[in-house]
């Protein structure tokens, strides 16, 4: 991931704790995607400021590359939102399916009871209907 490369470069170029803190790199990378995106955005924003951008430009992280990394991050967060929406839709669809199967099961149970009662004197028809 681009942010990992960015972090490694920044840590190599700026060894002071205060610089790393200003760039948002004093903690571990969050595992939660939204927290990661927030952390990465803050790091990229800080990196575009002086004195960081001048030094980073000399190590392959020019303004254009940081902007591209921000766009990549935006795409990632959009994809994550779409995935969460799809998960929600799938959950809703599964609940609707389960409710429909339960309704069908209830109907079939009643049908069988009524069929047995209605066809009690018709064993051939009972076999044909399957009750």
User: What 8-state DSSP symbol labels residue 26?
Assistant: S
User: What 8-state DSSP symbol labels residue 29?
Assistant: P
Token digits of residue 94: 């599964």
With a CB cutoff of 8 Å and minimum separation 6, the contacts of 116 are: 126, 131
Domain residue spans of the chain: 2-85, 92-129
Token digits of residue 33: 């995607």
Q: For 50-83, how does the pLDDT look when each residue is reduced to its tens digit (9 = 90+)?
A: 999 999 999 999 999 999 999 999 999 999 999 9
The residue whose two tokens read 């004195």 is 51
130: left (phi over 0), alpha (psi -120 to 50) or beta: left
pTM, full prediction:
0.68
């Amino acid at each position: 991931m681009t942010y990992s490369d960015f972090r490694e470069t920044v840590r190599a170029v700026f060894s002071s704790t205060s610089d790393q803190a200003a760039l948002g790199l004093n903690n571990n990378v969050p595992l939660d995607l939204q927290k990661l995106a927030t952390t990465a955005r803050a790091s990229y924003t800080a990196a575009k400021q002086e004195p960081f951008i001048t030094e980073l430009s000399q190590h392959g992280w020019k303004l254009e590359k940081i902007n591209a990394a921000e766009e990549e991050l935006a795409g990632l967060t959009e994809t994550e939102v779409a995935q969460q929406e799809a998960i929600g839709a799938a959950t809703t669809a599964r609940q609707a399916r389960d409710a429909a199967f339960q309704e069908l099961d209830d109907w079939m149970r009643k049908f069988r009871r009524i069929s047995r009662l209605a066809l009690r004197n018709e064993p051939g028809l009972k076999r044909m209907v399957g009750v």
